[in-house]
Amino acid sequence: MNHRPLDQTLDRANSDVVLIVDDVPDNLSVLHDALDESGYTVLVATGGEAALQRAAQALPDIVLLDAMMPGMDGFEVARRLKAVPATAHIPIIFMTGLSETEHLVAALEAGGVDYVTKPIKPKEVLARMGVHMQGARQARQARNALDAFGYASITVSAADGRLLWQTPLARQLLQDYFGPASPQAPEPVLTWLRRQLPLSQAAPEPPRLAIERGAQRLCFHLHQQSGDDDWLIVMREESDAAVIEAMSLCFRLTAREAEVLYWVVKGKINRDIGDILGTSPMTVKKHLERVFAKLGVETRTAAAGMAMGRIRQLHPQFET
């Protein structure tokens, strides 16, 4: 049986998802009923480990978190949620029976955006949620819109390199280009970011970062500052497949001949081209000889120059 991830089975178009974390059944019951009647999709967890697991699966829009629980308390749950890029952006409202200043400060330092005191008053909880849900909902809609158009986004702390949040598309692209997920931004991205700082308003747009993988590349644009030292970075995967197809059509080349010519334009030698295409340098040489004949040239430089002239007409943004 094929089980879809929980976050894909929830009706997010018509309902915001709330995760309630409390070890007291009566508290869960009161809040569950009030939120359900108000149109929220309600998930519950009775302990810290269960809360972390459910949050990772469902990616709720907001978390109502009991501060004092046996085992892992709410402060530790919040710190762990904020340490993981997939859940770091989720607003957390603490529920606590402790009104001492140090406990309230601890809740905010652990990553909470607000708190309510026990005994819980559902109307107060709903009002507090409404304040924080509006901003979270707008941010989510903006991130989803970026993903829908192929633009992924991440927020990075320049100070310590942490990924504060990332869209689903961003998470997939980072894994494709840099390997298994990490709470830290990839080192090339962090080095590039820090090299651009500090920025002045009068400064021109900083140069983008491009990480290449074959004929594809992942491009990073420094978009804006979202906090004192936090930066929103927009990235998009670009491909030169259209350029290769244009070479094939313009010069009547086979698909493999066009690929060889593409990498010649990129300045690669036969051995490198063979490694990229999974063939031998001798085979690359034979393809290149046929390319020379079809273009009516005798050297790599002449072939690359002719190809570049035509490509610039059709794809002005092409970079060698």
Task: Return the CATH architecture of domain 150-239.
Answer: 2-Layer Sandwich (3.30)
pLDDT tens by residue, 134-183: 776 776 666 666 666 667 888 888 888 988 878 888 888 999 999 988 88
Distance in angstroms (rounded) separating the CA atoms of residues 63 and 91 = 6
CATH 3.40.50.2300 in the chain: give the residue spans.
6-145
The pLDDT assigned to 8 comes to 47
Residues of the chain with CATH 1.10.10.10: 242-314
Residues 111/82, Cβ–Cβ less than 8 Å: yes
3-state DSSP: the chain helix, strand, coil percent, rounded to 5? 50, 20, 30
d(CA 27, CA 107): 19
Average confidence score pLDDT of the chain:
84
pLDDT digits 0-9 by tens, 228-271: 678 889 888 877 787 788 888 888 999 999 999 999 998 999 99
SS3 state at 184: strand
Give the SS3 label for residue 316: coil
Is pLDDT above 90 for 189?
A: yes
Q: Which CATH architecture has domain 6-145?
A: 3-Layer(aba) Sandwich (3.40)
- Per residue in 32-59, is it b (16+ CB within 10 Å) or e — as a string? bebbeebebbbbbbbbbeebbebbbebb
Cα distance between residue 110 and residue 133, in whole Å: 19
CATH of 242-314 among 3.40.50.920, 1.10.10.10, 1.10.540.10, 3.30.70.20: 1.10.10.10
Calpha distance 189→320 (Å, rounded): 21
Q: Is the pTM of this model over 0.75?
A: no
Q: Is residue 44 classed as helix, strand or coil in its secondary structure?
A: strand
Q: Are strands 230-239 and 152-157 parallel, antiparallel or unpaired?
A: antiparallel
Task: Write out the residue limits of the CATH 3.30.450.20 domain(s) in the chain.
Answer: 150-239
